Amino acid sequence: MTSYPIKKWGKCWAAVGFCLLSAAASIAQTQSQAGSRFEAETFFGAMIAGKEVGRRANATGGEQIIARLNHGGAFGLRAGVHSDLLGLEAGFVTSSNRAEVKNEFGVAFPNHAERPLICSGDALLYPFRRRLAEGRVRPYLTSGVGGMLLSADLDNIRDKEFHGGLIWNAGGGVKVFVGADSAMYVDLRFTNHRMLGSRAADLIDLRSISVGVGARF
């Protein structure tokens, strides 16, 4: 997958940000009239990767320099507004390990990349509303858009630059609320993070499995 400096994605990021803010305002207004609650959580889990996340030509040698993210831990934060049927949240997830940088012949370039950061805005659909276990068990489906940021030196002549690409999330999970007033919950979630590119060959899937602990206000 070819990686581009973040400045080339400026217009795309601005458009995505505008769409997310517009959607957030619309859904938040709708949910405020439907008894919605604010929820926030922190989560930990695993990032199933083993994938190339960027490449560029070595300016001093001509061969391709490739950044690859290996399997590792994952952690992040989520916060949003949720009603009986719908939810809208913003969040980020990062991996516990840095991206590994090598050229196409397998020669390593140490300290050429940092940990990637995935930021997104996601909508949640609760198909059973609060019908299961008096509302304490809430399965859901989720999908959204965002982007991945990676600080890396992929041309071997400049310092690390921010490289970015668009992300489409899709997944599902279940929340289990505990306590007398069901203010605390555990969130089990699987998410497929698809990195979008201009060609079919550029489509890369990263997957995260997480366990979150959160509170409803």
Whole-number Å distance between alpha carbons of 179 and 186: 11
Fill in the DSSP letter of residue 136: T
Whole-number Å distance between alpha carbons of 94 and 98: 10
Tens digits of pLDDT across the chain (217 residues): 555 455 444 545 555 555 555 555 555 555 455 578 999 999 999 999 998 888 888 988 889 999 999 999 999 999 999 999 999 999 999 999 999 999 999 999 999 999 999 999 999 999 999 999 999 999 999 999 999 999 999 888 878 888 888 999 999 999 999 977 889 999 999 999 998 875 555 678 999 999 999 999 9
In the structure encoding, which two tokens stand for residue 160, read together?
Answer: 């690390």
Whole-number Å distance between alpha carbons of 83 and 90: 15
Kindly report the pTM of this predicted structure: 0.82
Say yes or no: domain 4-216 is CATH 2.70.70.10.
no
Residue 177's DSSP bridge partners are 185
Q: Concatenated DSSP letters for 14-56?
A: HHHHHHHHHHHHHHHHHHHTTT-EEEEEEEEEEEE--EEEEEE
Question: What are the Cα distances from residue 61, in Å, to 13, 58, 155, 201?
Answer: 32, 5, 9, 25
| Residue 162 buriedness (CB in 10 A; 0-12 / 13-18 / 19+) | middle
**Residue ranges of the domains in the chain?**
4-216
Q: Are the beta carbons of 54 and 164 closer than 8 angstroms? A: no
